Structures are given as C-alpha cells and as structure tokens.
Amino acid sequence: MKKIILFILLSSLVLNLSPIIVQADKKLNKELMNIVNEFKPSNSLIESPDKPFPTKSIKLYDFNQDGRKEIIVTFEVKAKEQPSSSQYGAMVLKKVNNKWEKIWETRIKGVDLDFSGLADITGDGTKEYLFGVTIGAALGSKLKIFQWNDNSFKNIAEVLYHEIDILNGNQKEGLAVWRWYLAECSLVDVLKWNGDQLVYDKELFSKYYPVIEKFYNDKISKMDAWFYWYCLADAQIKANLFEEASKSIEKGSLLAKKLSMPEGVQNFNKLRDRLEEKKKSL
C-alpha cells in the first residue's frame, strides 16, 4: 500500500513539474534565439544539421572552461542564383564582460549541412568542434575539425566522407570514416589523432569491425553482389581477419568472373596481394 501511495505521489510530482520544465525550456530557447538573431548574417537562415542525433542548430559548450558556455550556431546562406550551392556556416558566440560577441565563424559551400558536433579528438580534455557539409553525391561531405585555440578556433584536420561515426577511444575519440566505393557500399577507415594529424588506428578499427561486418552481411543476405564482398574483404584485412578475408575474396572474385568483369577480378587480385603482404608483415 505504501508503495502505491509513493508511486501516486511521485507521478503527481512529475506531472506538476513537466509544464514548468517545458516553459523553462521555451524561455531558454527564446533567449538563445534573441541572442543568435543579433549576430547571424542578415541573409541567412538558422539551419539544423542532419547529424549527430539529436540534431540541433544551437549547441552550448564551455570551450575555455571558465564556467560560462559559448553558443555554437549553424546557418545557411542561400545562393542568389539557383541551382548554385549554398554556403553553410557555423559561428561561436561568447559572453565577454557581460556582452555577447561573435568570436568565430566558418563557411563551406555545399548542398546540405550534414554534421555539427563536439568530440575530444585531440584528447586534451576540451572537445573539438566538428563541422561537415555535403559537397555532392559522388564527392560526399567534407568534415573540418576545429580546435579551441587562444579564444578562437584552429582548423587542425579535414576529412572527406560519405558517412561518419564518432568512436570512444582511450582519452581521445576517433572517427569511423565511410567513403563511397560503389552502389551502397563504402570502404571504411578508422582514424585517431596522433598528436599531429588523423591516422589509421588498428585497435579502434578492430573494435568497430563488428558494425562493418553486420552492415555487409545484411546487404549480402539481400543481394549477393561482388562489390559487397570486396568492401567486406577490405575491412577484414584491416581487422587482421585473414581467413575470413580470403573467403570473401574468393566469393567476390567468383561473382565478378561470372559477370565477365575483368576490372573487378583485377581488384580482387590486388586485395589478395594486400592480404598476403599483411600476413608476411605480422
């Protein structure tokens, strides 16, 4: 009986608090928008990115760890003449002496705002700002990584990608970069900061490999195509799964031969050479 009464009381408390929380959120959002509207380019629209979830056009983060969060805003400046590419931008607002100031802005030409997020890529305890804009269907998207540096931002790396995942690593976060190969398949690399640049990370790739394997197994179960086997074999070589890679190469090569695709067969032969070289190097 006591549990029932407690449940009723807690439920009542939550129901009573919910409108207050919603109103507080609305008030905060309105205040933020008023601040943002002061600084956004006059011909721009506030734009939410496609990724990562939850997708928000306004983010808050304390870059210099002074206890006051900066405001990160993404926007679009449409081209005057269509179908020219728009400019997608991001700006950071900071409160200085009780007044908001725009301390930084960047823009990239493209067709879509794909990514706006935060991740500690360098492992220094302060998150970097990641900004990605889709350039085109074939080229994919360009990701720029900005590090907080002396009250502004420094572009420390750029990555071309079609899909991207942020991965948790030891101290530093890594990037799983999917680059389009053919049809609905991509070649995957996992990158991590080495102090100077983003480089391939073997350990983090092995941790991420099950995601890649599941993706291609699902694809192959629906359509047994040589290009899926090719991308899977590439990932298996990178993950040091030599026996699995050998089987994938054989299956994919056979499919390419049946379709009379000499270029495809040649690509599998190159994969086979890569596999043998890696075996010898270990």
- How many CB atoms sit inside 10 A of residue 192's CB? 21
Residues 185 and 282 in one domain: yes
Residues 140 and 184 in one domain: no
Please determine, for residue 18, whether its predicted confidence score (pLDDT) is greater than 60.
no
Question: Cα–Cα distance between 143 and 197 in angstroms, integer?
Answer: 14
Phi, psi of 228 (to 5 degrees): -65, -40
Question: Cα–Cα distance between 232 and 244 in angstroms, integer?
Answer: 9
Question: Cα–Cα distance between 240 and 207 in angstroms, integer?
Answer: 12
Residues 10 and 47 in one domain: no
Average pLDDT on 245-271 reads 97
Residue owning tokens 């995601």: 211
Phi, psi of 231 (to 5 degrees): -70, -35
| Residue predicted with more confidence, 167 or 53 | 167
- Range of the structural domain that residue 65 is part of: 43-161
Residues 112 and 178 in one domain: no
Q: How many domains does the chain have?
A: 3
Residues 114 and 85 in one domain: yes
Residues 175 and 156 in one domain: no
Phi, psi of 263 (to 5 degrees): -65, -40
- For residue 104, give the 3-state DSSP assignment: strand
Residues 188 and 233 in one domain: yes
What CATH number has the domain bearing residue 62? 2.40.128.460
Would you place residue 79 in the very low, low, confident or very high pLDDT band (cuts 50, 70, 90)?
A: confident
Residues 279 and 231 in one domain: yes
pTM: 0.87
Residues 138 and 30 in one domain: no
Residues 174 and 265 in one domain: yes
